[in-house]
Amino acid sequence: MTSVAEVATGIASAGVPLLYLDTCALLDIVRGHRDAFGRDHALAAVKLVELVEAKSLTLVLPEQITNELTDNFAEVQKSGTASIAALNAKVQRMQEIMLAFGAVAPVPALPAPSAYETLADNLVARYLLAAITADTTDQAIQKASQRVITATAPAATGKQSFKDCLVLEGCLETLAAARALGFGAAAHFMSTNLAEYADPAKKALHPQLVGEFAGLGLEFARNFLELRYMPAIVAL
């Protein structure tokens, strides 16, 4: 782990666009088959980590994200792998129906669930290896608790959102410290947890967060594809 001061110094010294991802964003890589994550999203996720590895982007992850991955990664990975197997079963059933109808075309190859798991795991590992992990501070904990008490996004009345609030406060804290050191490049926060971070239409940032993000020059992205084509990143 790295102190907030050290993280801020690293961000400012690099001077390149800054990227924050939350836990949901990283877990999306291993979730398996679903309509919300297609080929273009996968290509964007790969390109983004390449840019981080090339030092064209700085990636910062609050410590809380590594804790959440430790707690949740295996379960989400198992579910993602199972979704590939379920998809294959549906395709195989359709193949059997078509063969019964007299089809003579070659049977298409099906994706191996274990191969998907390995590829997805490796991509997440690249993100974690390339990232700077920022320590959790008492100040971030206090501010996260206040968000929960006041039901301020990403918290909401009746929802236990402390972990999400702690991730966000960790991001805001390091960005504020970097801005104070003169960091002037673009900064981006990506979360696919639209229920907590987006407006009711799930098309833009939650209204309660707009002022905070604008004050620090922090842009919001809802997925890897949207993030890849942010003006400061697409130019890289």
- Strand (E) positions, the chain? 18-21, 58-62, 132-134, 187-190, 218-221
Please calculate the CA angle 3-132-76 and round it to the nearest 5 degrees: 120
Q: Structural domain boundaries of the chain?
A: 4-78+113-234
The pLDDT tens digits along the chain (236 residues) read 799 999 999 999 999 999 999 999 999 999 998 889 999 999 999 999 999 999 999 999 999 999 999 999 999 999 999 999 999 999 889 888 888 899 887 777 888 899 999 999 999 999 999 999 999 999 999 999 999 999 999 999 988 799 999 999 999 999 999 999 999 999 999 999 999 999 999 999 999 999 999 999 999 999 999 999 999 999 99
Q: Which two tokens stand for residue 210?
A: 């707009």
Among the listed residues 177, 197, 208, the one whose alpha carbon sits nearest the alpha carbon of residue 25: 197
Is pTM beyond 0.75? Reply is: yes
Answer whether 216's CB lies under 8 Å from 187's CB. yes
b/e burial code for range 140-162 (CB count within 10 A of at least 16 → b): bbebbeebbeeebbbbbeeeebb
Q: Residue 75: helix, strand or coil by DSSP?
A: helix
